Structure 1
């Protein structure tokens, strides 16, 4: 243990997913400082252990950066620590599972079928709600001066433009993206993840389950 004043900069992520129930500092934080040997040892420091036979509700734990600083200073009392990350953070434990390929294919196929028919039903319900057929007939009569005979240029353009508009809006087709901007789904997922983390932190704080300093 060094007697000289050393500096340590630590950045803790708001949410960290771990596969090992024994959580080490390197699993939740990135560090830099003036003492490389100290940093190597701190990366291996165990900060929490999930119960071996835990319920799924116990697979999430909230800790504070103050607790991490306290644990570091217990080993290195002369270190000057600067926290550049979150004040409170979430650790999620996901045990290593190896599902069979057949089950993955079945789940993916069922999900694709549900999404396909769900989207198709939504589009049909929308078209029926606003009476697209009647609208196109009136528009065709106003422009062309004669009654619509069924499938016209309007229906064809609408059928082509609808999927193109969906692809452009979601900025995603297969494994390719039209631009480097995040897709609307990615943006909403990040907002959802942030709200979930904030709720975990708030609930654990109110319930006294947050691992914090005394």
Structure 2
């Protein structure tokens, strides 16, 4: 019985086109230093143009390749069963005109949403009524209520999203970040189920056998 080597695949990594993926790029290895260094440099896969955006590396394939090359070692898997490799593409410089149009679209859309909400709940009438209850006077534009309310609305949104431009206010994730994290998890699970080449090959084999 050979020496035991423990492998833990990383959930997600990034790579470039034509990059050769080594074991150390996608996994954590627990073994003796000499064996570990040798394993970390073991080449497993080369990113090809046909792979497009995503490649799934399955732990079964990894162990199969390693077992053929290192017959004196026994490999044990710990953790995730697949690694998602996102293939990076050269970034294009964004046009200022395009960025400005997107910014205006988002700004106007957010303003319309807030205005429509206030119209639906009759916010102006509520503020006028509140002013009357507190002062006994009827005023069309109670600015001493409306101005602090508008400032508070902006501050509240900053605190809710936990960001001021690119600066994070504290380490607690915002509700938007939590929802994006959940969405990314569902997306990764979908990709694993539909893009895993091992699963595709098995499906082809089952079809041909039947």
TM-score after normalising by structure 2? 0.82
1:177 match? 168
Partner Cα separation in structure 2 for residue 211 and residue 12 of structure 1: 22
| Structure 1 stretches of at least 4 aligned residues deviating more than 6 Å after TM superposition | none
1:99 equivalent to 2:92? Answer: yes
1:109 equivalent to 2:100? Answer: yes
Report if the CA contact (8 A) 1:62-1:211 is conserved: no
Gaps of 5+ in 1: none
After superposition, the Cα gap between the structure-2 partners of 1:211 and 1:84, relative to the gap in structure 1 and judged at 3 Å, is: farther
After superposition, the Cα gap between the structure-2 partners of 1:39 and 1:68, relative to the gap in structure 1 and judged at 3 Å, is: same
Aligned counterparts, 1:19-38, within 5 A: 19-21=16-18, 22-34=20-32, 36-38=33-35
Greater per-residue helix proportion: 2
After superposition, the Cα gap between the structure-2 partners of 1:200 and 1:145, relative to the gap in structure 1 and judged at 3 Å, is: same
Report if the CA contact (8 A) 2:16-2:47 is conserved: no
How many residues align? The count is 203
Structure with greater contact order relative to length (CA < 8 Å, sep ≥ 6): 1
After superposition, the Cα gap between the structure-2 partners of 1:87 and 1:124, relative to the gap in structure 1 and judged at 3 Å, is: same
Shift of 1:133: 0.8
Report if the CA contact (8 A) 2:7-2:29 is conserved: yes
Gaps of 5+ in 2: 206-210
